[in-house]
Amino acid sequence: MSPFLFRSLCSSIVLILASLFSTGCGRKESDVEKGIREGVLLIGNGAEPEDLDPHVVTGLPEYRILMGLFEGLTAYEPGTMAIVPGVAERWEISGDGRQYRFYLRENARWSDGQAVTAHDFEYAWRRVLSPKLGNRYTYLYDDIRNATAFHAGQVSWSEVGVRAETDRVLTVQLSQPAPYFLGLMTHNTFFPVSRVTIEAYGAMDQRGTAWTKPGNVVSNGPFALHAWRNASHLELRPNPHYWDRSAVKLNAVRYLPIESVDTEERAFRNGQLHVTSTVPAHLIPTLRARQAPELQLAPFLAIYYYELNVAKPPLNDPRVRRALSLALDRRALVERVTQGNETPAYSFIQAGALDGQEGPVFTEDITEARRLLAEAGFPEGKGFPSLEILYNTQEAHRAIAEALQQMWQRNLGVQLRLTNQEWQVYLVNRRQQNFALARAGWVASYQDATVFSNLLLSDSGNNHTGWKNQEYDRVALAARNALDPKKRIQLFHQANAILNEEMPVIPLYFYTSKYLLHPSVKGWHQNLLNLHPIKAVSLSEPGSKP
């Protein structure tokens, strides 16, 4: 054999071996890398969604998904979170602020290709206000003329201030001005639903029907439901009939219900997720110290708090409730337990929702807490019943509950028990008031103080405490509808002062948004609402332009 042929043969063998090695023995492509190549975004969702009915659910794991499936009259600009047109291309507001006329887009379509009309919105809002449905957000409709009366069965629908004038014009009459009304339209309880789809699987006001299952659900957002495999993943794919289809860059979005924050973090490290729902608290100091680019921390309009069941003695005594609150070291909680740069909460309504103007606050006072508890009949905690702290299964919630348990034992001599439950079971027991103390979080879905003050109104479907206070209702409602900004903030401060005295909830801290983000994710912006419309998100190789 000639030297040339020998060298050529050797080169061929080397190339063949190299090819075999690279295809058979090389590093396997990760889910994240495959996602970048195929345009599939992988998101840790924290929990399995309870449902996909926008008029039934109340949790963040559901809202993340619903933002992609549905669209309201208005929407958020992804970068600034300013209110922009959604299904409505424009609107007119009367001079007295009591009438809104929305003009819907001619090319707004459901995922089955049918037109989205003003009648769909009227039908959806009537559905929300139907008592049998049991919507938890009907109080958000209070400003609409006669909406509350219809929900109470006192008037007919024809007397409610919602009317589809034509297929493309929806007119809404308010009983008083509501300066935040356009922001409300981004909330899932104002999303439209398809009447044909709803009633194909049951009555208009029937909960838990099959209309939200894959193959059944019809939605109007940038994405449509492709698959939902319990305990595995939920996948959305672009809605081909969406009016702004050209703006959608992703080919799919996959939500993974990983409740364990440590498991979710490992999934991110192992290339299985582009975005996590949160970050394990014990890792945050290390990540911050080395300025890890994947760590995202930002101010957030959201509060972590404990609900107190005021129907359960001795929590029916405001002295006991205040004692439990004043005995807690919130600074130690955020610095040693949560470690996410959170702000201790000494009021319920966040200053960030009031143009940064902090109102009345309470302070930690162990001496006063002990005095109040003794005055209520439990000196040094003697005779205090062993109440239960309910929280949904997640390591971070357990760590917080254990820290509070120790503080109450050390500072008041009170012993409380811990009980954890899976997300959906926990939600049911909170709604049915099967708890004494329960972990809770409230996240602003629009940027206004009413997102906090509305929660504790007597008729709020999300007020699980059983607390009702007519003076609080009067002040909070006056604040909600005041047009003078200074007067409005003053009223919100009065509402905060009432909560500080009555303490139906124990504010613990104001969140920071914290999650891990892969550098390939583009169009994912930090903002006070921690909302990330996936319509604007794309994937590209790290370092490249989207």
Dist. CA 377–CA 34, nearest whole Å:
63
Give pLDDT tens digits for 105-132: 999 999 999 999 999 999 999 999 999 9
Answer whether residue 9 shows pLDDT above 80. Answer: no
Give pLDDT tens digits for 266-286: 999 999 999 999 999 899 999
pLDDT of residue 382: 97
| pTM summary value | 0.83
Question: Is residue 47 in a domain?
Answer: no
Answer whether residue 174 shows pLDDT above 90. Answer: yes
Task: Please tell me whether the peptide bond between 507 and the residue prior to it is cis, using omega within 30 degrees of 0.
Answer: no
Dist. CA 344–CA 42, nearest whole Å:
32
> Range of 193's domain?
60-252+517-538
Give pLDDT tens digits for 390-414: 999 999 999 999 999 999 999 999 9
Q: Which two tokens stand for residue 477?
A: 């409602």
Give pLDDT tens digits for 58-106: 888 999 999 999 999 999 998 888 999 999 999 999 999 999 999 999 9
Assess whether 357 and 433 both reside in one domain.
yes
Question: Is residue 72 in a domain?
Answer: yes
Beta-sheet pairing, 99-104 with 169-173: antiparallel
Dist. CA 233–CA 488, nearest whole Å:
44
Assess whether 70 and 205 both reside in one domain.
yes
Question: Is residue 10 in a domain?
Answer: no
Assess whether 522 and 487 both reside in one domain.
no
Question: Is residue 11 in a domain?
Answer: no
Q: How confident is the model over 186-212, as a mean pLDDT? A: 97
Question: Is residue 112 in a domain?
Answer: yes
CATH classification at residue 196: 3.90.76.10
Q: How confident is the model over 334-347, as a mean pLDDT? A: 94
Assess whether 238 and 383 both reside in one domain.
no
Dist. CA 46–CA 248, nearest whole Å:
24
Question: Dihedral, CA atoms, 57, 61, 65, 71, nearest 10 degrees?
Answer: 50
Assess whether 455 and 525 both reside in one domain.
no
Dist. CA 372–CA 323, nearest whole Å:
6
Residue 391: count other Cβ atoms within 10 Å of its Cβ.
21
Matching residue, tokens 């124990």: 506
CATH classification at residue 432: 3.10.105.10
45, with CB counted inside 10 A (0-12, 13-18, 19+), is buried
291, with CB counted inside 10 A (0-12, 13-18, 19+), is exposed
**Which residues are registered as beta bridge partners of 224?**
237
26: confidence class by pLDDT, cuts 50, 70, 90: low
Assess whether 228 and 110 both reside in one domain.
yes
Matching residue, tokens 């998100």: 537
141: confidence class by pLDDT, cuts 50, 70, 90: very high
Q: Collapsing DSSP states into helix, strand and coil, what is residue 108? A: coil
Question: Is residue 288 in a domain?
Answer: no
Assess whether 306 and 166 both reside in one domain.
no
Residue 6: count other Cβ atoms within 10 Å of its Cβ.
10
pLDDT of residue 13: 38
Q: Collapsing DSSP states into helix, strand and coil, what is residue 269? A: helix
Assess whether 79 and 142 both reside in one domain.
yes
289, with CB counted inside 10 A (0-12, 13-18, 19+), is exposed
Assess whether 505 and 534 both reside in one domain.
no
Question: Is residue 261 in a domain?
Answer: no
Q: What domain count does the chain have?
A: 2
5: confidence class by pLDDT, cuts 50, 70, 90: very low
Give pLDDT tens digits for 449-485: 898 999 999 989 899 999 999 999 999 999 988 888 8
pLDDT of residue 543: 64
Assess whether 171 and 85 both reside in one domain.
yes
Question: Is residue 329 in a domain?
Answer: yes
Assess whether 414 and 502 both reside in one domain.
yes
Name which residue leads in pLDDT, 174 or 18: 174
Assess whether 133 and 185 both reside in one domain.
yes
